[in-house]
């Protein structure tokens, strides 16, 4: 993996210790198949009592990591920014290359003949990369709410989910968000507005918050933040939970993946699932055979 020195630098002992610890955390996550955002890396430092949970501490860590990357001490691919990425057209040298590539992208809807249909909704766009692999392997659609869902997107969601209900499927939305005044209220908001737009079908959809819940806070002990007292919902939150709040980013990625796999997995009829998977592989092989014939032509 790329370590390129652009700006040579000798680090003081304190900063070198931070860099070495960051490297150890990065390697630990890489072994599990995850990369990290800077914020996730920071929460690992806080959870291990290596840094205090303050804005200044977060900024200082960011400065050290940035300098370490420029100095060639940390891999450029180890820290990811999931909110900014390049968009553009794909290109191929031959039609056969396109067919061969698309063979692996040929997917049959594994849920079409299931009794239930699930979607995973997550509060933060920066965490989509954490859940994407699990959702895609389960053939479950996933959605970044980016806070409170916009009115237009909620209406589109209700129209989509309503079609599943009309087709006879029970619909489940699994929501993940911060444990803070607004984060908890977002689950309530999803329930209320989907009920509004679904009308008579509202009773056939189940919205379940699978993270971050108070029992998970007690179990995993993520680093706390002060509750946002300026939030209009802060009063009721503080009465119930006290003055601390917790971010979803602070949970281990493996925990988030396991939650999704467990809740979605319960909905599957594995016999039907296996038959759809076999049909999908047959279709992929047909496309591979076409690509091979085109290459030999």
Helix, strand, coil distribution of the chain in percent, nearest 5: 55, 10, 35
pLDDT of residue 274: 97
Q: Exposure string (b/e) for 20-59, b if CB count within 10 Å is 16 or more? A: ebbeebbeebeeeebbbbbbbbbbbbbbeebbebeeeebe
The answer, yes or no, to whether residue 192 has pLDDT greater than 90, is yes
66-71 mean pLDDT: 96
The answer, yes or no, to whether residue 226 has pLDDT greater than 80, is yes
Per-residue pLDDT tens over the stretch 89-145 = 989 899 999 999 999 999 999 999 999 999 999 999 889 989 999 999 999 999 999
Check: CB of residue 100 under 8 Å from CB of residue 291: yes
Q: What is the Cα–Cα distance from 176 to 124, expressed in whole angstroms?
A: 9
Task: Tell me the average pLDDT of the chain.
Answer: 93
Per-residue pLDDT tens over the stretch 104-114 = 999 999 999 99
Q: What is the Cα–Cα distance from 45 to 103, expressed in whole angstroms?
A: 42
The answer, yes or no, to whether residue 12 has pLDDT greater than 60, is yes
Statement: the pTM of the whole predicted model exceeds 0.75:
yes
26-50 mean pLDDT: 90
117 to 37, 59, 144: CA distances (angstroms): 31, 42, 18
Check: CB of residue 173 under 8 Å from CB of residue 119: yes
Q: What is the Cα–Cα distance from 77 to 127, expressed in whole angstroms?
A: 17
> Per residue, what are the HEC states of 173-200?
EEEECCECHHHHHHHHHHHHHHHHHHHH
pLDDT of residue 80: 87
pLDDT of residue 1: 59
pLDDT of residue 34: 87
Q: What is the Cα–Cα distance from 224 to 238, expressed in whole angstroms?
A: 14
Give the number of C-alpha atoms closer than 13 A to the C-alpha of residue 248, restricted to the C-beta side: 27
Question: Two tokens at 212?
Answer: 């971050």
pLDDT of residue 297: 56
Residues 6+ apart with CB under 8 A from 115: 168, 169, 170, 267, 269
What share of the chain in percent tops pLDDT 90?
79
Residue 64 pLDDT class (50, 70, 90 cuts) = very high
pLDDT of residue 199: 93
78-85 mean pLDDT: 81
- For tokens 């959809």, name the residue: 205
247-274 mean pLDDT: 95
């Amino acid at each position: 993996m790329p370590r390129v020195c652009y700006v040579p630098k000798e680090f003081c002992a304190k900063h070198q210790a931070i860099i070495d610890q960051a490297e150890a955390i990065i390697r630990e996550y890489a072994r599990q198949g995850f990369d990290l955002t800077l914020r996730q890396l920071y929460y690992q430092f806080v959870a291990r009592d290596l840094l205090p949970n303050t804005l200044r501490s977060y900024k200082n860590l960011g400065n050290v990591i940035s300098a370490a990357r420029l100095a060639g001490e940390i891999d450029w691919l180890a820290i990811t920014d999931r909110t900014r990425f390049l968009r553009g057209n794909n290109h191929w040298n031959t039609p056969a290359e396109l067919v061969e590539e698309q063979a692996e992208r040929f997917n049959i809807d594994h849920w079409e003949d299931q009794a239930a249909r699930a979607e995973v909704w997550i509060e933060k766009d920066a965490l989509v990369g954490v859940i994407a692999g699990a959702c895609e392997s389960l053939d479950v659609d996933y959605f970044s709410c980016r806070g409170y869902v916009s009115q237009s997107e909620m209406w589109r969601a209700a129209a989509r989910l309503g079609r599943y209900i009309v087709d006879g499927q029970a619909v489940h939305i699994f929501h993940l968000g911060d444990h803070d005044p607004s984060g908890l209220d977002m689950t309530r908001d999803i329930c209320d507005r989907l009920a509004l737009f679904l009308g008579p079908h509202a009773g056939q959809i189940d919205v379940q918050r699978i993270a971050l819940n108070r029992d998970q806070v007690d179990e995993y002990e993520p680093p706390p933040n002060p509750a946002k007292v300026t939030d209009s919902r802060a009063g009721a939150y503080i009465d119930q939970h006290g003055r601390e709040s917790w971010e979803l980013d602070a949970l281990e990625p493996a925990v988030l993946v396991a939650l999704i796999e467990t809740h979605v997995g319960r909905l599957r009829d594995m016999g039907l699932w296996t038959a759809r998977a076999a049909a999908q592989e047959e279709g992929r092989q047909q496309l591979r055979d076409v690509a091979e014939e085109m290459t030999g032509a």
